[in-house]
Amino acid sequence: MNEEARFKTTGKLNEAFFRRNSRYLLSPKYIRTKLILLAVVTVLLLGSYFLMRWPLYLIMLAVYAVFSAAMLFVDRNRAAKTLTKRLLETAPDGEVLLTTSCTDSGIRSENHTNGGTTEIEYKHLSTLAVAEGAMILMTKASQFTVLFTDCLTEQEQRELQVFIEEKCPQIKIKR
């Protein structure tokens, strides 16, 4: 644990952070499942086109369009609320001060609110979401950790992203 840390960042996880970045916190598996469901409904809707009259088909098409658009916003809000509830279970004041750093073996997170430390090895990372003020790293099992980029310069942010891409060549980048 005494290896040199690079790109050490500090920031706060709170409800505002989860709301601002909720679109990045949905797991890729969950999104894929929703897209498959929407594809099945689309096929059923197209099949019903031949069996129904025009007015009923138009009503179904309008309901489908509203449903698919609303699903994305509902899921994002639900993810933010769930993460906030989880945060409140471990930090009653609703905020966690987190220091995250990149080491040679993985991403180390130190929770200054309750004193916990975790490290995620680079081989477990699957997605890097470049958000406003943060880089969110998702694992294959949909865990996440945050590198706060507010305290880094533009050059350091680019170097951090290159460093992570070198350590995890299979990582997918979301913007």
* Of the residues 42, 60, 89, the one at which a domain ends: 89
3-state helix, strand, coil in the chain (%, to 5): 50, 30, 25
Per-residue pLDDT at 2 exceeds 60: no
Give the predicted TM-score (pTM) of the model.
0.74
Strand partners, 110: 99, 117
Assigned token pair, 108: 């180390």
What's the gap between Cα 157 and its chain centre?
18
Average pLDDT over every residue of 87-110 = 89
Q: Are strands 117-121 and 106-111 parallel, antiparallel or unpaired?
A: antiparallel
76, 51: one domain = yes
CATH of the domain at 149: 2.30.29.30
pLDDT tens per residue, range 123-139? 999 999 998 889 999 89
Q: Quick check: helix, strand or coil at residue 56?
A: helix
pLDDT tens per residue, range 39-51? 777 777 777 666 6
Q: What span, in angstroms and rounded, lies between the C-alpha atoms of 42 and 114?
A: 48
* Structural domain count, the chain: 2
100, 75: one domain = no
Provide the pLDDT for residue 44.
74
Domain that residue 42 falls in: 25-89
Provide the pLDDT for residue 106.
92
**Does 19 fall in a domain?**
no
* Of the residues 89, 123, 144, the one at which a domain ends: 89
